Amino acid sequence: MNFHSSDHTFCSMDLNEVKLYIEKYRDRIDEALRSRRFIELCTHSGNEHEICVYVFRGTKRDHLLIRCDYCSCHDYLLNVVSRKKKQLCYHLLGLEIAISKGLIVKVTVTRDVMYEILKEILLCDFSPTLRRVM
Ligand SMILES: [Zn+2]
């Protein structure tokens, strides 16, 4: 799969910098897209407000994502927030690519299931419930 960074704006970043990140993470992002790891998890819309969150379904760890702003992975906490060595982790870059290419996987669940998945990711970095509903 080819990524053309000039097609999109990524998180208000300088395009040359985006290209470097894409080069660096190309293989991992490519694998993640093929394996349907970028998920938009939403509650059923009905009388209540629909809630949607972005989730990365990893092989060993799952992460919660806020576009361009937050990832619950170790790399983000260490190198983006603490050391300020870079602006984003590969999950956040991959999320933007998944959204822009229409490769995000949308999963709709009840509020109870949403709560269970978020709890599992926040407490254990892994959600068996997410795997059951996919
Ligand atoms: Zn991350």
DSSP letters for 52-114 = EEEEEE-SS-EEEEETTTEE-SHHIIIIIIIS---S--HHHHHHHHHHHTT-PEEEEE-HHHH
Query: Confidence class of residue 5 from pLDDT cuts 50, 70 and 90?
Result: very low
Taking only the tens place, the pLDDT of each residue in 94-116 is 999 999 999 999 999 999 999 99
Asked if pLDDT for residue 6 goes beyond 50, the answer is no
Question: From the CA of 10, how far away is ligand 1's center (Å)?
Answer: 15
Question: From the CA of 48, how far away is ligand 1's center (Å)?
Answer: 30
Question: From the CA of 46, how far away is ligand 1's center (Å)?
Answer: 32
| pLDDT computed for residue 18 by the predictor | 87
Taking only the tens place, the pLDDT of each residue in 35-90 is 999 999 999 877 778 899 999 999 999 999 999 999 999 999 999 999 999 989 99
Question: From the CA of 80, how far away is ligand 1's center (Å)?
Answer: 10
